[in-house]
Amino acid sequence: MNSDAYLWLTFVLLGLATTLPRAGFIVLGSRYALPATLQRALRYAPAAALAAIVVPDIVLVDGAIAVFNPKLAAAVAAVGAALAWRNPWLPFIAGMAVLHGLRAL
């Protein structure tokens, strides 16, 4: 097989690997229910995925963990504002103010 055929085979297999698990829930519908424990665990999947994307960007600077960086301080300020007040805009404002203030220094 040449490299083009390998490339197309890879595309098709990756497409099937991403489509079949999703289609399984649609096709099976309500005929099959997930166990209650798994359903409770899946509620945390979006937060875990978001944390896996955001946390490395916050704590890493040039590929190394940096405890003192503006992004980490801004994230701490945003989380603190979110926990202290119920205003949905305040964490954004606090985080951006800290980030831009520390970058200006």
Residues 55 and 83 in one domain: yes
Residues 71 and 22 in one domain: no
Report the pLDDT value the prediction gives residue 48, as an integer from 0 to 100: 94
Report the pLDDT value the prediction gives residue 29, as an integer from 0 to 100: 75
Report the pLDDT value the prediction gives residue 47, as an integer from 0 to 100: 93
Residue range 14-72, pLDDT digits in tens: 999 999 888 877 787 777 777 889 889 989 999 999 999 999 999 998 888 888 899 99
Residues 27 and 52 in one domain: no
Q: What is the 3-state secondary structure (H, E, C) of the chain?
A: CCHHHHHHHHHHHHHHHHHHHHHHHHHHHHHCCCCHHHHHHHCCHHHHHHHHHHHHHHHEECCEECCCCHHHHHHHHHHHHHHHCCCCCHHHHHHHHHHHHHHHC
- Structural domain count, the chain: 2
Residues 91 and 48 in one domain: yes
Residues 61 and 26 in one domain: no
Report the pLDDT value the prediction gives residue 99, as an integer from 0 to 100: 95
Is 38 part of a structural domain of the chain? no
Report the pLDDT value the prediction gives residue 39, as an integer from 0 to 100: 87
| Residue 77: pLDDT over 90 | yes
Query: What is the domain extent for residue 1?
Result: 1-33
